[in-house]
Chains A and B, each alone.
Chain A
Amino acid sequence: MMDSITRKAGIAAVAAFGVVLVSSASYSIVSAQGLPEGFKKGDLAPEPSAEMIEAGKRVYFTKCVWCHGVDGAGDGPGADRLWPRPRNFNQGTFKIRHTASGELPLFDAKKPIPGQNDLFETVTHGLPGSAMPSWEGILTEEQRLQVLSFVTTQLVKDRKFTDKQSETQTILQLAELKAKPATDESKKRGGELVVEKKCVECHGMEGRGDGNAFNLKDDWGFSIQPADWHKCWNFRGSRQDPYNVGNIFRTFSTGVNGTPMPSFADNTTVDERWDIANFVNSLCERDALGNPLPIDPLTDKPKINFVIPSDLVEGEIPTNIEHEAWQKAPKRYVAMGGQITHKPRNFVNRIDDIWVRSLYNNKSIVYLLEWDDRTKSVAEGKLPWAPTQVNIDVKEQEPKTGEEGSIAAHQNNYTVYNDAIAIETAVKWKELPAPIKPRYLFGSSDQFPVDIVKWEADGSLRAFKGTGWDKDFEERDNYEESMKLLKGEWKDGRWYVMIQRPVGNKKDQDYDEDTFFEVGQYIPTVFFAWDGHNGDAGRKMAVSAFFYTFMNPPIPQETYIYPAVIAVGVVLLEGWVLTRRANKKKEKGKAL
């Protein structure tokens, strides 16, 4: 039992958290048998058969060994470039469970009770936000049970799933606990409870995972981030059903073993836990009508629409986000991946999405960019390179370093640079009929250059011309007068940046370096984002795919006239058919 508890540097952090817990757990809610409310004692599952284990070994050495390693110590060839690091099975510490804090997860190789065979569910659905994919549709149910039989008996070394002396199973009866409806009252109570129970100390005042972002460590001494409640599709325990409140209830009730996230079963009633789960669930991003975002079953992330529509406003574009025009402007989810095309590659990008809105008037177009970033980062002193420099001295993670040099061990230890965001548009997009785009990443020599507008957390806004992934930018002429930063604010784990740039005009556009934004046309647009605390600078950044900025044209008059004409035409046609029919009948009548 003691083995599961920290042996490494994490002790301090966990202990500190323990103090917080004990002090807040001034009272304890237990049922008659001394169990926390909602839990029941269960039996340990029987040992899987030798055939299952042997068959599982074959699955493991085909599929799993590459990250989890030969001995299951989470040190396979892929491990050092991953964060979170692959699970080290040896200690038997598993995050997502139906069992009480500190206990082994549920696993029975014989009879998978739907939804209640924890390890089987993890392999089936994967762990979103980490590199663990869903194995459903790749391995059969039988194969998944086999490989788990191998892992639980051969690779979990410090504990034994079948040892009645040392192991117990106290199981959350999730199927029997009826979810409390997510009423406003319940959510309000939940909102109060997350403060009372000190959830916000780690998860942040708005639940963006920005509280105490630097000091949290897991059992193995690696930095760990509190979950961002606004991205439920990244919850490890979301089980490919991110808006299901039961997942949050389960994680909150059982805690996340091996991390500072405790179980709150002992100091909350079931009713309170539902309130908190309802509140946390209500924070997850939703569409304008408050409905859950459609999730793409191929990626388990929100579905992407690659067109960013920009609405026309008369007169000045408002700078206040609460303004009606901004509230009505459609908000687009822009997925961000690490820049892993050129050196230095960014294997772990801490910004994985941006929310973009846009408005335009006859002179300018404004982008409102919002993204969650747990840390506000502004470099101390002057950066050692010029703003136009693309090839700068930032090292990429070596492939094989061992734990100490791994990407997970580096987290929160990077030199801090500026948080930044950039919008790249194709300059000569008119010569690039869709779907053709300028060459990734920064266009190509002089043929298809790109226009890059970059904002940095030090408050600077610059405009460049890019001519190739390894070519330094050229700073553009006189952009200072025409470009404006309308907003650049970090609040509770989220950046709000509003950038205004000219739309250009047909007559005297500076064709070679400035993008001319034409109404009703698809203008290829890419977004780049840098997280200063991740050591992001230069090409070490997050990138989006090509999106399109589309300035919605005002509705032309023909749109009203033609349909009316067509409708009249149909009326005439009807008249003709009816008269003809009537005549025919008359003739028939005569003939008879």
Chain B
Amino acid sequence: MKALMSLGALVGVIGILLLGGMTFNIVPSTTVRLVEGYMPMQMLFELTCFVAGFAGLSYMMSAMGMPFPRFWQGIGFWAFILLYLKYRVYPPIPFSVRAMYGTVSLIAVFMWVSASEDDWKKFKQPIMNVLDAQGGMNKLLRYAYIVLIPILVGGFSYNAMVPKSEEPIELRTVHPAPPASTKVHGKTYTLQTSQNPYRVNQEGKYDQEYTNANIVEQGMGRLMKPNANPWDDKNQGYLKYVREGGEIFFQNCHFCHGDNLNGRGLHAFAFNPIPANFTDPGTIAQLQETFIFWRVSKGGIGLPNEGFPWASVMPPWEQHLTVDEIWKVILFEYWHTGYYPRTWD
């Protein structure tokens, strides 16, 4: 038990020092980098480490006869959560959201310190000591608080009132409701019934099972199946069209959606909203192939009225590609990300 706790304390101290150092630029802020794709797991792991660290630390300190008062434990933990949200989480969370998390964790800390009558007493003891002090440090402290609190509150409210030019929060509709049908290059496609004409097996028949069996494997790297190389010249059907779709993708789409289809292409840094990340399970994996066909053909300018802010630079690809080329690109996108298109039922 003791060994476990001291290990926890060690992890906690190292973690806090590292985090503090990175926040204040004492060590390079890239020392422990958040790696895209692992970010949520990484953060959960980090937080687990810190919780273990705190538990271990407080145990060690009380074992050594210098226990942290409950009061400071509560405040310290809450402050840590606020700082972690502000400085560590990336991309940054807007203040309003942080305020919400902050309130929730404040309530949680409150519940923790007031879990039993004893705990609650311990928690409020320092406050009472200061309030009731007749002399010594605490009395001084009380006077300091009496002076400081109004100044701080006044200062904060001044800060809140001074006109600021913060970026307005930009919410947007990610997947607007599709129309029943869409007209591309003079032909009308009903979204519910249209099919990708290139989702075919080697004999040229529409075959979802065959094509789904030949997409890249899920898991790190999303590599192609060992015996399903689209660059094999002998390919017929699906894999041949995947390659053709890939060629079109890397002549047109990768500039924004990136070489790995993760929305981090060459020009992506300049655009807002950022280009869609197809490897994210929230994009093409959630949508039907014909929905993608509609979005690709019509682009940002073809977004319906409720699909604001209309700032998308997504080209209406009907201006650049034929219908066949659009279907092939869509085929490639599902192949490369290893997702199955959603069906209508």
Contact = CB atoms under 8 A, between A and B. Distances in A.
Residue among A61, A135, A520 with most chain B CB within 10 A = A61
A400 B251 contact: yes
Interface string B216-238: 10001111101001110000000
A400 to B, nearest CB: 7
B90 interface: yes
Contacts of A577: 131
Given A131-B254, A338-B255, A340-B313, A552 B154 contact: no
Interface in B117-176: 131-132, 146, 149-151, 153-155, 157-158, 161-163, 165-172
Interface stretch (A417-425, A472-480, A562-570): A562-570
A301 B269 contact: yes
B269 A335 contact: yes
Contact of B91 (A61, A65, A298, A558): A298
A297 B32 CA distance: 12
Contact of A342 (B246, B270, B319): B319
A301 B270 CA distance: 9
Nearest to B159: A563
Nearest to A67: B250
Nearest to B229: A61
Given A546-B272, A567-B154, A63 B259 contact: yes
A62 B256 CA distance: 19
Contact of B301 (A78, A135, A439, A585): A439
By secondary structure, the B interface counts as loop
A553 B163 CA distance: 7
Given A66-B246, A440-B313, A570-B153, A61 B224 contact: yes
A296 interface: yes
B247 interface: yes
Interface size class of A (residues with CB under 8 A): 35 or more
A406 B171 CA distance: 40
A464 to B, nearest CB: 20
B201 interface: no
B78 to A, nearest CB: 21
Interface residues of B, number: 81
A58 B248 CA distance: 21
B27 to A, nearest CB: 13
B268 interface: yes
B3 interface: no
Given A341-B315, A469-B301, A555-B163, A137 B35 contact: yes
Nearest to A144: B221
Contacts of B229: 58, 61
A564 B154 CA distance: 6
B308 interface: yes
B192 interface: no
A566 B157 contact: yes
Interface of A: 58-59, 61-63, 65-67, 70, 76-78, 80-81, 130-133, 135-140, 143, 240-241, 296-301, 304-307, 309, 335-338, 340-343, 345, 347, 349, 352, 399-400, 434-441, 469, 520, 522, 543-546, 548, 550, 552-553, 555-556, 558-560, 562-564, 566-568, 570-571, 574, 577-578, 581, 585
Nearest 4 pairs of A and B residues by beta carbon: A337-B270, A78-B250, A337-B267, A567-B154
27 contacts: A58-B223, A131-B266, A133-B258, A133-B260, A137-B36, A138-B260, A143-B220, A296-B269, A298-B36, A298-B264, A340-B255, A341-B315, A347-B255, A349-B267, A435-B171, A435-B309, A440-B300, A440-B311, A522-B168, A545-B313, A546-B272, A546-B309, A559-B158, A563-B154, A563-B161, A566-B154, A574-B146
